[in-house]
Chains A and B, each alone.
Chain A
Amino acid sequence: MNYIMAFLFSGFICFVAQLIYDNSKLTPGHITSLFVVIGSFLDLFHVYDKLVEIFHAGALIPITSFGHSLMHGAMAATKEYGIFGVAMGMFDLTAAGIIAAILFSFLVAMIFKPKS
């Protein structure tokens, strides 16, 4: 059941993004930036947390979840550090993803050669 929910949500978000891509002059860069901001916004009232509960990995894998994680980490840290928590905690949940992306991108660049 979890798998079906993950499939549906992840597929749906990609479906909406594809419609935007094919019917506008927005690039993937524009659309992913938009979606990341939407993800942050949806965490403002803990909406995204509910989506994660229902759709599990389906809500965690799109780039929207990146916005949600940034927001979540920021808000969690405000409990301890007040307003400075926004800056101090923002990378708490996203650190692993960003570090992995940088490290593996570097290794790929060192090992492989671009084809065309």
Chain B
Amino acid sequence: MSSHFLGNSVKLDNVYIASSGTTCGPLEFFGPLGSYFDKGYDDYHCGEKSFEKAERKMLREALDICLKREQLKLKDIDLYMGGDLLNQITTVNYLAREIPQPFIGIYGACSSFALSMAISSLLIEAGYVDKIVTLVSSHNATAERQYRYPVEYGVQKKATTTFTATGAVATLLTNQKTSVRVESITLGKVIDYNQNDPNDMGRAMAPAAYDTIITHFKDLKRSFKDYDLVVTGDLSTYGHKILKTMMQQNKIDVVHYDDCGCMLYDVHKQEVFQGGSGCACSALVTMGYLYPLLKEKKYKRILVVATGALLSPMLSAQKETIPCVAHAVSLEVVE
């Protein structure tokens, strides 16, 4: 086993994806990728008393589906790692009460999926653990309550708004060979480009995505052409345009580039403004839709760059600008 540290990236030899579980909410289920998810709910309460309980239920279901696929029990996994959007990452922490194994909570805002995958990959590559399950979730109502307004408040959303995806994804990573592996990771720097509009996340996060992608390409001496698909997590329509323009202005040829926030929903038919956001956005599209495509060998190698806006409503009220980050994981078919 040999890992290669290259700048901010690491090439991996021994990390594989064994299984996943995906659950989603109504809009995601009725979106273009709805049929790819394991379970969909048709309302935001999921039969629970509060939205927060509903989000935990969705995550628990995703975890159960992921483990059942490999006939594993909770105790068969060495370590669990996860994050969500809520203060004190309550969804994963309170769910972890039900898990009789060590748990690491991480916060990367909407980049939590790639962040948890990257850290988990490093732990497995280094040989400290054999099996890790990563857990991420987000829920439209819990995010709105915390970051914006009460759900029944009559406010007209701005055109640059994105729609927090409702869903949960559990992913099993292992050092046992399977058909898809995590080939390399790049951990991102926190970038603040003086953006202070919490209703315009795409614009705030695009510079971070740009930085991480450029770093990844530089470290690994690659370009867009070395991937069948490069996706950003949730820059959505506006942010996607900005990133593409930034690349083109720097003479970088952009091919095979899309954004999970634009793929998860039909932005013209569904009321999602610029598209999706939230931890679940990048996770659902990657594990629900792209991972099966890799297993079927329709794609050989993809790069997932999950973007996160690390803002706090309190600090936005104090007129602070928004720091953002993007983490990248490259998934590849095993020959």
In the complex, A touching B, CB below 8 Å? yes
Hey, which bits of chain A sit against chain B, CB under 8 A?
21, 25, 27-28, 113-116
Interface string of B232-256 (1 = CB under 8 A from A): 0000000000000000000000000
B314 close to chain A: CB less than 8 A: no
Interface string of B133-144 (1 = CB under 8 A from A): 000000011001
**Which stretch in B150-158, B171-179, B291-299 binds the other chain?**
B150-158
Contacts of A28 in B (CB 8 A): 155
**Contact A116 B44, beta carbon cutoff 8 Å:** yes
Closest to A108 in B: B152
Contacts of A27 in B (CB 8 A): 155
B197 close to chain A: CB less than 8 A: yes
Cα–Cα distance between A113 and B141 once the two chains are bound (Å): 13
Give the shortest distance, in Å, between A20 (CB) and chain B (any CB): 13
21 A-B pairs within 8 Å (CB atoms) are namely: A21-B156, A25-B197, A27-B155, A28-B155, A113-B45, A114-B51, A114-B141, A114-B150, A114-B151, A114-B152, A115-B43, A115-B44, A115-B151, A115-B152, A116-B43, A116-B44, A116-B51, A116-B140, A116-B141, A116-B144, A116-B151
Contacts of A113 in B (CB 8 A): 45
Question: Interface of chain B, helix or strand or loop or mixed?
Answer: loop
Cα–Cα distance between A27 and B155 once the two chains are bound (Å): 9
Cα–Cα distance between A115 and B51 once the two chains are bound (Å): 10
Of A21, A25, A114, the most chain B CB neighbours within 10 A belong to A114
Contacts of B43 in A (CB 8 A): 115-116
Contacts of B155 in A (CB 8 A): 27-28
Cα–Cα distance between A116 and B163 once the two chains are bound (Å): 12
Give the shortest distance, in Å, between B83 (CB) and chain A (any CB): 22
Cα–Cα distance between A28 and B51 once the two chains are bound (Å): 25
Give the shortest distance, in Å, between A19 (CB) and chain B (any CB): 13
Contacts of A114 in B (CB 8 A): 51, 141, 150-152
- 19 additional A-B residue pairs with CB within 8 Å, beyond A114-B151, A116-B43: A21-B156, A25-B197, A27-B155, A28-B155, A113-B45, A114-B51, A114-B141, A114-B150, A114-B152, A115-B43, A115-B44, A115-B151, A115-B152, A116-B44, A116-B51, A116-B140, A116-B141, A116-B144, A116-B151
Closest to B152 in A: A114
A-B pairs with lowest CB-CB distance, top 9:
A116-B44, A116-B141, A114-B151, A116-B151, A114-B152, A28-B155, A116-B140, A25-B197, A115-B151
Cα–Cα distance between A113 and B53 once the two chains are bound (Å): 14
Cα–Cα distance between A61 and B314 once the two chains are bound (Å): 32
Give the shortest distance, in Å, between A61 (CB) and chain B (any CB): 15
Give the shortest distance, in Å, between B42 (CB) and chain A (any CB): 12
Closest to A21 in B: B156
Of A21, A113, A115, the most chain B CB neighbours within 10 A belong to A115
Contacts of B144 in A (CB 8 A): 116
Contacts of B152 in A (CB 8 A): 114-115
Cα–Cα distance between A48 and B43 once the two chains are bound (Å): 47
Give the shortest distance, in Å, between B11 (CB) and chain A (any CB): 43
